[in-house]
Amino acid sequence: MATKPPKGDPVQDAPQVAEPKHAAAGLPAIGHTLRIAQQQMGVKRTALTLLRVNQKDGFDCPGCAWPEPDHRHKAEFCENGAKAVAEEATLRRVTPEFFTAHSVADLATRSGYWLGQQGRLTHPMHLPEGGDHYEPVSWERAFDIIAEEISALGSPDEAVFYTSGRTSNEAAFLYQLFARELGTNNLPDCSNMCHESSGSALSETIGIGKGSVLLEDLYRADLIIVAGQNPGTNHPRMLSALEKAKANGAKIISVNPLPEAGLERFKNPQTPQGMLRGAALTDLFLQIRIGGDQALFRLLNKLILETNGAVDEEFVREHTHGYEEFAEAARAADWDETLSATGLSREEIEEALGMVLASERTIVCWAMGLTQHKHAVPTIREVVNFLLLRGNIGRPGAGVCPVRGHSNVQGDRTMGIFERPAPAFLDALEKEFGFAPPREHGFDVVQAIRALRDGEAKVFFAMGGNFVSASPDTEVTEAAMRRARLTVHVSTKLNRSHVVTGARALILPTLGRTERDLQGSGEQFVTVEDSMGMVHASRGRLAPASRQLLSEPAIVCRMARRVLGADSKAPWEEFEKDYATIRDRIARVIPGFEDFNARVARPGGFTLPHAPRDERRFPTATGKANFTAAPVEYPELPEGRLLLQTLRSHDQYNTTIYGLDDRYRGITAGRRVVLVNPEDARTLGVADGSYVDLVSEWKDGVERRAPGFRVVHYPTARGCAAAYYPETNVLVPLDATADTSNTPASKSVVVRLEAAPEGRPETRPEARLEQSATD
Ligand SMILES: Nc1nc2c(c(=O)[nH]1)N[C@H]1C(S)=C(S)[C@@H](COP(=O)(O)OP(=O)(O)OC[C@H]3O[C@@H](n4cnc5c(=O)[nH]c(N)nc54)[C@H](O)[C@@H]3O)O[C@H]1N2
Ligand SMILES: Nc1nc2c(c(=O)[nH]1)N[C@H]1C(S)=C(S)[C@@H](COP(=O)(O)OP(=O)(O)OC[C@H]3O[C@@H](n4cnc5c(=O)[nH]c(N)nc54)[C@H](O)[C@@H]3O)O[C@H]1N2
Ligand SMILES: [Mo]
C-alpha cells in the first residue's frame, strides 16, 4: 500500500501549531526522510537510490545547487534531497487511464499537492481544441502539432521557450540552439524569478554574474554572513559546511526577519556527537525588517569608512572604480533612518561591525531574502561594496556567495538560456553553426506573461517547471495562459500548468535524473554546474518510469528536426544519438569548456574559470570592480498593514508539495497559515488561531485576495509577516518587480488582514475538500 497516492484531496488544511524548533537535522530528520522515501519508492528502491545521490559515479541530487565536498560521505544527501529523489523515483504512475478518469476541469479543482502525489507521467498526452480530456498521442503526432502551431505564427517571437533549472547542460544548450535557429531569444527561465537580481548586480560590479567562492573558501573564512536564506530547509548540506567553518574558527552572522532553526543549531546526522548535541551556528542574529538589508550594509559601509585602517586601500586603488562617489553616499548614511529601516538596535549593529572589523576574510551568502524585492539589485550591489571595501573578493576565504536554487539553474544560464544573451555568445554560436542568431532581446518571465495576456505570444513551451504556479499574480497568469494557442510541457510529474492550458496542450513526459538514459550510441550521462561553478557528470541508474519516456535532449532534437526541417544547420540526429557530440560543440562555443569531454570524465569534474576569484581580474565595462552609489531604499508600510514575504515550508520543493508540515517552524497538517509578530497581531486585533483573508494592496488599485489563512503568532520582525508560496502568489502583482532584474518582488508584498468572513477554510468553496471519486 505504501506507494498508493492519498485518496482524497488534502488541499483542506487544518494547521496545527507548536513551538518552533531551535535546531535542524539530526535523528528526527532521518526518520522523516526514510518514511517519505519509502512511501513513494518502497524499501529496496529507497536504499538503492539514496546511496547513489551525489556520489562521483552517481547522479546529481535534483534537490539544490549546493556543491559536493571532495571527500564524500556514503550518504551525501540530506533530508530534503532525499524527498526530491523520492518524488522523482516514486513507483506511482499517471497513465492514460488516469486522464480518461479525470477531465481537465476536474483536475483544475485539485490542489498542487494532490496533482503531484499522483506519480510519474508515463505517456505523451494531447488536449485537443475544445476537448475536455487529455488523450494519448504518439511522439510523432506531438511534434507535428508543435510544428503546425509554430508555422502558423506571424513571427518566431510569438513563441516562448521557458526553462526550469533542472535541465542538464546538454539539453539546455540544444534548447537555446533550437530557439535561436528558429529565430527568437524568448528564453525566460526560473532564474528570472530567483537569482536574476544577483546576476544583474554581480555582472555590473564584478563582471561575472556568479558567486566567487568555493567550498574551501567557506572552510577558511573568519566571518560568514548569511542574509535572506534558510539553509536548514533549502540547502541542508550547507549546514555541514557552516559547521566545518565554525570548527575552523569562523563566526556567523545571520540576517533574517525569522529565527530559522537550521541557522541556530545544526545536528549533523553524519557524526555521532553531531546527532547528540549539535553545533550552535549563529553567533549574532540580526532580526532585520523585510527589505532593510541595503540600509544595514550601507551603514556598515559608513562605519568601516570611518574606522582608521579598516579600508583595504591598496585593493581599492588597484582593483576598483567609483570609490569616491560611493564613499560620499555611504558617509551620508543615517543612524536613525537605518534603525527604523532595519528594526535593529544600535548595539546590534555595533556588535556586527566589531565582527566585521575583526575578520580578515569575509563571505556573504544570500538567497531569496535579498533577491525578491523592488530594490534587490541595489541591495546586492551594496553587499558588493561592503566586500570590496575590505578587499574581500578574489582572496581565499572571502567573497560573494549567492546560493542558487535549482540544481542546474546556473548551468542553464551558462549554456545560453537567457533572454538577453551577450553578443559574444551569439557570435560564437553563429561561427560554430553558420546561422545568424536573432540579436534582439527576448521576453523574461514577467514580459512573457504580459505577451501571452496581450495576445502577442501564442505558443508557450516549457522545459520543466510549473510556470503557472511559480509565476506571480496567479489569476493574471492563468488567464494569460488560457489565451495561448498551444501550451506544451516537458515534465516528469503532473502539475497545475498542465491543467491551465492554451486552446491545445501537450504533456511530454521525460526522464528524471535518477533514470538510465539509453541512446543510439549506448548509455548516456549529462552534466550540471553547481552553485560554485563546478561542472560534473550525472548518471541515472534506475529503469525509466515508463518505456514511452524520451530524454530532454531527445525531445529537443526531434522537435528541432520536425520544426526546422532539412535546412537546419545542426546535426540533431547525431546529437540525440551521442551526447558527447553536444559537449564537443559546447566546448567550442562556451569559454571555460575547452576539452569538455575529457575533463568531465574525471571523477568530480572540473571548476569553471572565474576571473575575479582566480586572478582578481574584473571583466566589467571599466575593467575594474565597480563600487556603486544607489540611493538607499526600503519598503514603506502604510498604517495597519504588514509586509508579507512568500517563502518555502520544510515540506515542499518550490511548487511541489511533499507534505503539509513545516517541522522546524512548528506547523503541521496545513499550509494556509500566516506568521505574524504577536505585538503586531495585538495592534491589528488578530488572535492566534483566528482566520483571516490576506489582501494585497498595490498602486493599480486592484485588490488581490488569498482567503482563509490561520493566524500564527510567531517571532518574526515587527511589521513583517510570512506565508507560503505558491498559495500566496495570487497576491504578488505582475508589475511589482525588482528594478533592473525584473524579478517579482515576492518577498515584499503590502497586505492587510481581514477577518475571514466565512471562518475556517473548509467551509469555503476555494478550499473545499475534494473527496476524490477516483480510486
Ligand atoms: N527543500 C527545498 N530546497 C530548495 C527549494 C525548496 O523549495 N525546497 N527551492 C530551491 C530554490 S529554487 C531556491 S531559489 C532556494 C531558496 O532558498 P531560500 O532563499 O532559503 O528560500 P525561501 O524559503 O524563499 O527563504 C527566504 C529566506 O529569506 C528570509 N527573508 C525574507 N525576506 C528577507 C529580507 O528582506 N531580508 C533578509 N535578510 N531575509 C529575508 C526568510 O525569512 C527566509 O529565511 O532553495 C532551493 N532549495
Ligand atoms: N511567491 C513566490 N513565487 C516564487 C518564489 C518565491 O519565493 N515566492 N520563488 C521563485 C523561484 S526561486 C523559483 S526557482 C521558481 C520555480 O519555478 P519552476 O522551476 O517553474 O517550478 P518548480 O516547482 O521547481 O517545477 C516543478 C515541476 O518541474 C517538473 N520537473 C521536475 N523534475 C524535472 C526534470 O528533471 N525534467 C523536467 N522536464 N521536468 C521536471 C515537474 O513536472 C514538477 O511539477 O518559483 C518562483 N516563484
Ligand atoms: Mo529558485
Residue 643 CB–ligand 1 contact under 6 Å: no
Residue 368 CB–ligand 1 contact under 6 Å: yes
What does the alpha-carbon distance between residue 2 and residue 38 come to, in Å, rounded to a whole number? 7
For 488-526, what is each residue's pLDDT tens digit? 999 999 999 999 999 999 999 999 999 999 999 999 999
Contact 517, 492 (CB under 8 A): no
Residue 58 has what pLDDT?
A: 86
Give the DSSP H or E segment for 236: helix 236-247
Residue 493 CB–ligand 2 contact under 6 Å: yes
Q: What is the dihedral of CA 740, 387, 617, 394, to 10 degrees?
A: -130
Query: In DSSP terms, which residues pair with 487 in a beta bridge?
Result: 460, 505
For 732-772, what is each residue's pLDDT tens digit? 999 999 999 999 999 999 999 999 876 665 544 333 333 33
Per domain, the residue ranges of the chain are 25-88, 93-194+408-603, 196-403+622-626, 635-767
CA of 116 to the centre of ligand 1 (A): 21
Residue 287 CB–ligand 1 contact under 6 Å: no
Residue 348 has what pLDDT?
A: 98
- Fill in the amino acid letter for 628: T
Strands (E), 510-569: 517-519, 522-524, 526-529, 534-538
Question: In terms of residues, how long is the chain?
Answer: 775
Which of 636, 484, 560 has the alpha carbon at shortest distance from 160?
A: 484
Q: What is the pTM of this model?
A: 0.96
Q: Is pLDDT larger for residue 249 or for residue 277? A: 249
110, 190, 510: which to mutate for ligand 2, most atoms within 8 A of CB? 190
Ligand 2 atom with least separation from CA of 462: 38
Residue 207 CB–ligand 2 contact under 6 Å: no
User: Which cell numbers hold the place of 230?
Assistant: 534558510
Among all chains, which residue has been given the C-alpha cell 508515463? 122
For 50-82, what is each residue's pLDDT tens digit? 877 878 788 888 888 888 887 777 666 778 888
Residue 45 has what pLDDT?
A: 83
64, 375, 379, 531: which to mutate for ligand 1, most atoms within 8 A of CB? 64
Burial label, 309 (beta-carbon count in 10 A; 0-12, 13-18, 19+): exposed
Among all chains, which residue has been given the C-alpha cell 506573461? 449
Give the mean pLDDT of 631-659.
96
CA of 767 to the centre of ligand 2 (A): 23
What does the alpha-carbon distance between residue 238 and residue 601 come to, in Å, rounded to a whole number? 26
| pLDDT-based confidence at residue 1 (cuts at 50, 70, 90) | very low
Residue 704 CB–ligand 1 contact under 6 Å: no
Please determine, for residue 612, whether its predicted confidence score (pLDDT) is greater than 60: yes
Give the mean pLDDT of 414-433.
98
What does the alpha-carbon distance between residue 139 and residue 162 come to, in Å, rounded to a whole number? 20
Q: Of the ligands numbered here, which is closest to the C-alpha atom of 704?
A: 2
Strands (E), 360-483: 362-366, 399-402, 459-463
Residue 492 CB–ligand 2 contact under 6 Å: yes
Please determine, for residue 482, whether its predicted confidence score (pLDDT) is greater than 70: yes
Evaluate whether the domain defined by 635-767 bears CATH number 3.40.50.300. Answer: no
Q: Is pLDDT larger for residue 22 or for residue 515? A: 515
For 352-408, what is each residue's pLDDT tens digit? 999 999 999 999 999 999 999 999 999 999 999 999 999 999 999 999 999 999 999
Ligand 1 atom with least separation from CA of 373: 35
Residue 477 CB–ligand 2 contact under 6 Å: no
What does the alpha-carbon distance between residue 57 and residue 65 come to, in Å, rounded to a whole number? 18
Ligand 1 atom with least separation from CA of 228: 39
What does the alpha-carbon distance between residue 573 and residue 566 come to, in Å, rounded to a whole number? 11
Residue 33 has what pLDDT?
A: 77
CA of 649 to the centre of ligand 1 (A): 9
What does the alpha-carbon distance between residue 388 and residue 393 come to, in Å, rounded to a whole number? 6
Whose CA is closest to atom 24 on ligand 1?
647
For 314-332, what is each residue's pLDDT tens digit? 999 999 999 999 999 999 9
- Fill in the amino acid letter for 142: A
What does the alpha-carbon distance between residue 599 and residue 586 come to, in Å, rounded to a whole number? 13
Please determine, for residue 597, whether its predicted confidence score (pLDDT) is greater than 70: yes
- Record: fold of 93-194+408-603: Rossmann fold (3.40.50)
Q: What is the largest CA-CA distance in the chain?
A: 74
For 665-684, what is each residue's pLDDT tens digit? 999 999 999 999 999 999 99
Ligand 2 atom with least separation from CA of 467: 20
Whole-number average pLDDT of the chain: 93
CATH code, 196-403+622-626: 3.40.228.10
